[in-house]
Amino acid sequence: MKRRNKPVLSRREFAQRAAMLSATASIVPPTAMLDVVTNILPDKQAEAGGPKLSPEGQAEADARYQQVLSLYGDRLNDEQKTRVKKMCAELQPALERIRSYRLDNGNAPALYLKPLYEREKKPQSAAAPFPPSPLDGKP
């Protein structure tokens, strides 16, 4: 079997990079990423029953899709590309809902970590932990 000169990308690395891409795409304004013309796939959200997005949300979803294509486009077939485009569009409403939540630096977390069950404590034995030493009675 011949080895390719290209480095192999593991599933874990792909998932980490995709998550990082999604996180950074929400921070960077969409207009900064729209250098590439978005004529790869026509907009079929209304036909496919996809979510209705605002123009800004649609631009951000398209920018995220273009970023994924620029990183992994040569490894994806047409079916995978359409699936990625659909996933980018479906992710956008959730991102908009999260961003609309007002949060300040002083706000406490909504949930605290609480254990599901209490662990039983080991009973202490009635005996002394150390036997009396022979030097205890001598001055």
**Interval 25-51: pLDDT, tens:** 666 655 555 444 344 444 444 445 577
pLDDT at 62 over 70: yes
- How far apart are the C-alpha atoms of 90 and 14, rounded to whole Å? 20
The answer for residues whose C-beta is within 8 angstroms of residue 99's C-beta and 6 or more apart is 26
Residue 36 per-residue DSSP state: S
pTM of the model: 0.44
What's at 49, amino acid-wise?
A: G
Higher pLDDT, 60 or 127: 60
* 99-121 pLDDT per residue, tens: 888 888 888 877 777 767 777 77
